[in-house]
């Protein structure tokens, strides 16, 4: 079967959640024997090694530069008058549209897959074939519309209403769509009443990539992973440094905190300075840093989808302490495979408990690894995704 896959993120290196998901989808489709043409945006030029790694999985790989959203650009300002989200208008790429048209003119495809809402307009150019809209995520925008001051709520509220209207019309033009959790599916049902072609394909990890020895856990070490350029992660780190970590440090003065992710171009002056807290910068391979940490902290307060950072930590045997929002959408159990704390005192108390109790740490590590193996490995998720793609491809467009 020939698959046309459209992605807003080039999947290599797999150093954020979006790239990791796309790469695993490509791997699963390739393992299922399908011939994949990948048309992808690139935020930065892909290296020869990155291109070679993806080309080993795909029959054809073509890229074009990503157009970042600029609110002050003419197209963005004109988009204020449109019923479509203006970010989609401003970032629309004629080059990507040409790639899609050219690929469809040169080759017959059995199914087109648009990874995220951003790629939906380009998938509509792939006429005469069934289409799958992969990973519809709405929760983040919905939350933004209810937060902030009056002006922020008005601005994000308008964006939410436009997006909801757009998604309601768009999903009807696809044979099916996927979401990562039951919460996202329920929100889609609110936006598009009567739409019943949404399947849950959760986020996951490639278990083989997390097997092996990545280092010995170091006592009294905490880690927070995730790019600070993402608003939800920045808010989580601010909350962690301002309200949680001081409580931990008071009980465990030897505690240290690694905050990973590139800080290039970011103003960190608004974040509190804390003893023992270190910004590592971008790490090409995050696995050793997680594996050598005693506990992974996920104090998220906003955001949608599910947290790949939790699954990565669990796969590496590193216990996780998270907020309910951080663990949202995952089938976790407090005390069995994770600890949940929704106030600074409870969160810090849970962290300190793990730092001082090796038996608790061992129990959480074993429970987390078992959960990931049973439910969130792509070895388990992949067959369901591939069955969905085959089913869609067998339908009349």
The confidence score (pLDDT) of residue 85 equals 86
DSSP letter for 118, please: G
Q: Please state the length of the chain.
A: 397
Alpha-carbon span 297 to 280, nearest angstrom: 15
Q: Please say if the pLDDT value at position 62 is more than 70.
A: yes
Q: Please say if the pLDDT value at position 306 is more than 70.
A: no
Helix (H), strand (E) at residue 4 = strand 2-7
Alpha-carbon span 25 to 4, nearest angstrom: 12
Exposure b/e, 187-217, CB count within 10 A at least 16 = b: bbeebbeebeebbebbbbbbbeebeeebeeb
| Dihedrals phi, psi of 133, to nearest 5 degrees | -100, 110
For 183, the token pair is 């919460």
Average pLDDT of span 28-35: 95
For 121-130, how does the pLDDT look when each residue is reduced to its tens digit (9 = 90+)?
Answer: 999 999 989 9
The more confidently predicted of residues 24 and 80 is: 24
Alpha-carbon span 143 to 304, nearest angstrom: 8
The confidence score (pLDDT) of residue 305 equals 62
* Residue indicated by tokens 């790949």: 308
For 104-161, how does the pLDDT look when each residue is reduced to its tens digit (9 = 90+)?
Answer: 999 999 999 999 999 999 999 999 899 999 999 988 888 877 777 777 777 778 888 8
The confidence score (pLDDT) of residue 7 equals 97
Alpha-carbon span 175 to 395, nearest angstrom: 8
The confidence score (pLDDT) of residue 361 equals 96
Alpha-carbon span 23 to 13, nearest angstrom: 9
Radius of gyration of the CA atoms of the chain, in A: 21
For 173-192, how does the pLDDT look when each residue is reduced to its tens digit (9 = 90+)?
Answer: 999 999 999 999 999 999 99
Across-strand partners of 301? none
The confidence score (pLDDT) of residue 266 equals 84
Q: Is 176 left (phi over 0), alpha (psi -120 to 50) or beta?
A: beta
Residue 303 binned pLDDT confidence (cut-offs 50, 70, 90): confident
The confidence score (pLDDT) of residue 396 equals 61
For 199-218, how does the pLDDT look when each residue is reduced to its tens digit (9 = 90+)?
Answer: 999 999 999 999 989 999 99
Alpha-carbon span 238 to 339, nearest angstrom: 20
User: Checking DSSP bridges between strand 60-65 and strand 111-115, what pairing results, if any?
Assistant: unpaired
Q: Taking the CB of residue 1, how many other CB atoms lie within 10 A of it?
A: 16
> Are the beta carbons of 128 and 397 closer than 8 angstroms?
yes
Average pLDDT of span 18-36: 95
Alpha-carbon span 370 to 281, nearest angstrom: 31
Q: Taking the CB of residue 177, how many other CB atoms lie within 10 A of it?
A: 25
For 321-344, how does the pLDDT look when each residue is reduced to its tens digit (9 = 90+)?
Answer: 999 999 998 999 999 999 999 999
Q: Please say if the pLDDT value at position 262 is more than 90.
A: no
What contacts 24+ positions apart, CB below 8 Å, involve 273-277? 274/241, 274/245, 274/246, 274/249, 275/249, 276/249, 277/241, 277/245
Average pLDDT of span 299-307: 80
For 347-375, how does the pLDDT look when each residue is reduced to its tens digit (9 = 90+)?
Answer: 999 999 999 999 999 999 999 999 999 99
The confidence score (pLDDT) of residue 354 equals 97
Residue 71 binned pLDDT confidence (cut-offs 50, 70, 90): confident
Q: Taking the CB of residue 47, how many other CB atoms lie within 10 A of it?
A: 11
Q: Please say if the pLDDT value at position 92 is more than 90.
A: yes
Lay out the sheet containing 293-298: strands in order across.
277-281, 256-260, 218-224, 293-298, 320-322, 339-340
Task: Give the SS3 label for residue 258.
Answer: strand
For 216-249, how does the pLDDT look when each residue is reduced to its tens digit (9 = 90+)?
Answer: 999 999 999 988 888 889 999 999 999 999 999 9
Average pLDDT of span 30-47: 94
Q: Compute CA distances 194 → 172, 190, 328, whole Å.
A: 10, 9, 25
Alpha-carbon span 377 to 367, nearest angstrom: 14
Average pLDDT of span 13-42: 94
The confidence score (pLDDT) of residue 273 equals 87
Alpha-carbon span 247 to 244, nearest angstrom: 6
Alpha-carbon span 92 to 89, nearest angstrom: 5
């Amino acid at each position: 079967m020939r698959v046309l896959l459209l992605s807003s993120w080039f999947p290599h290196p797999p150093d954020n959640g979006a790239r990791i998901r796309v790469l695993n989808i490509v791997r699963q489709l390739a393992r299922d024997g399908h011939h994949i043409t990948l048309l992808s945006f690139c935020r930065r030029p892909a290296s020869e090694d990155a291109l070679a790694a993806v080309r080993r999985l795909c029959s054809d790989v073509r890229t074009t530069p990503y157009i970042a959203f600029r609110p002050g650009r003419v197209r963005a300002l004109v988009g204020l008058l449109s019923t479509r989200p203006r970010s989609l208008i401003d970032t629309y790429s004629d080059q990507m549209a040409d790639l899609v048209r050219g690929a469809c003119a040169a080759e017959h495809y059995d199914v087109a897959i648009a990874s995220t809402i951003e790629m939906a307009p380009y998938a509509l150019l792939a006429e005469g074939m069934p289409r799958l809209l992969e990973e519809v995520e709405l929760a983040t925008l919905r939350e933004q519309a209810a937060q902030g001051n009056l002006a922020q709520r008005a601005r994000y509220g308008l964006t939410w209403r436009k997006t909801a209207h757009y998604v309601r019309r768009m999903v009807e033009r696809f044979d099916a769509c996927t979401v990562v959790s039951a919460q996202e599916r329920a929100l889609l049902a609110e936006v598009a009443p009567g739409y019943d072609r949404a399947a849950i394909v959760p986020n996951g990890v490639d278990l083989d990539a997390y097997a092996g020895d990545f280092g010995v856990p170091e006592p009294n070490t905490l880690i927070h992973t995730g790019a600070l350029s993402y608003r939800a992660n920045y808010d989580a780190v601010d909350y962690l440094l301002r309200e949680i970590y001081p409580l931990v440090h008071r009980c465990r003065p030897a505690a240290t905190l690694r905050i990973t992710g590139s800080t290039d171009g970011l103003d960190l002056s608004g974040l509190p300075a804390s003893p023992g807290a270190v910004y590592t910068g971008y790490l090409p391979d995050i696995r050793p840093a997680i594996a050598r940490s005693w506990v992974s902290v996920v104090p998220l307060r906003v955001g949608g989808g599910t947290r790949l950072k939790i699954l990565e930590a669990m796969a590496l045997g590193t216990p996780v302490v998270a907020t309910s929002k951080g663990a949202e959408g995952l089938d976790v159990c407090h005390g069995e495979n994770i600890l949940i704390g929704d106030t600074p005192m409870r969160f810090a108390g849970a962290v300190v408990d793990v730092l001082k109790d090796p038996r608790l740490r061992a129990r959480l590590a074993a429970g987390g690894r078992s959960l990931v193996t049973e439910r969130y490995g792509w070895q388990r998720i992949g067959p369901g995704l591939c069955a969905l793609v085959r089913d869609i491809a067998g339908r009349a467009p």
